[in-house]
């Protein structure tokens, strides 16, 4: 076989392979994007989570407890943030420096503390 035919066949094979790869990856990327949208929508919905943390501040007049908490897998990374409390007595039961386990309920963007217990 002549060299130019070999080059032509190799080029053709590469072109067909790249075309199929491009078409396959386009479908795969589209599927992954739909899966990501569905996962984010599910995470944004209401849920209940348990989290361990340390009380940094208690703003009783606002009904807020500030916690430095561990990560909540799939919802939020470890951070320090203020959480509204469901009942005023939850804020009265803790003090800065307390290690606690909290039950959070609501959406990932605005969770509310529904229970606070001393950490085990």
Range scoring the smallest mean pLDDT among 3-12, 14-23, 36-45, 66-75: 36-45
Residues 51, 33 within the same domain:
no
User: Do 53 and 93 belong together in one domain?
Assistant: yes
Ranking 43-52, 77-86, 96-105, 111-120 by mean pLDDT, the lowest is: 43-52
Global pTM reads: 0.62
Structural domain range at position 80: 47-118
The per-residue pLDDT for 60 is: 92
Q: Is the pLDDT of residue 74 over 80?
A: no
Residues 99 and 56 in one domain: yes
Entry field: residues in the chain: 120
Which one has a higher pLDDT value, 29 or 58? 58
Residues 72, 102 share a domain: yes
Same domain, 61 and 40: no
Tell whether the torsion through CA atoms of 24, 27, 31 and 34 is positive or negative. Answer: positive
Count the neighbouring beta carbons within 10 Å of the beta carbon of residue 64.
Answer: 17
Say yes or no to pLDDT of 41 above 70.
no
Rounded CA separation 86/116 (Å): 10
Number of domains in the chain: 2
Is 80 found in the same domain as 37? no
Q: What six digits make up the tokens of 6?
A: 């070999």
SS3 8: helix
Alpha carbon 25 to its chain's center: 26
On the question of pLDDT at 57 being above 80, the answer is yes
- On average, the pLDDT of the chain sits at 88
Percent of the chain with pLDDT over 70: 96
């Amino acid at each position: 076989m002549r060299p130019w035919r070999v080059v032509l066949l190799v080029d053709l094979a590469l072109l067909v392979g790249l075309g199929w790869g491009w078409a396959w990856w386009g479908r795969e990327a589209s599927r992954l994007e739909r899966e990501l949208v569905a996962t984010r929508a599910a995470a944004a919905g209401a849920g209940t989570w348990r989290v361990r943390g340390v009380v940094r501040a208690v703003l009783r007049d606002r009904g807020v407890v500030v916690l430095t908490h561990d990560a909540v897998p799939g919802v939020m990374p470890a951070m320090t943030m203020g959480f509204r409390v469901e009942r005023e007595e939850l804020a009265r039961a803790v003090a800065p420096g307390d290690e606690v386990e909290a039950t959070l309920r609501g959406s990932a963007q605005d969770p509310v503390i529904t229970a606070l217990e001393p950490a085990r």
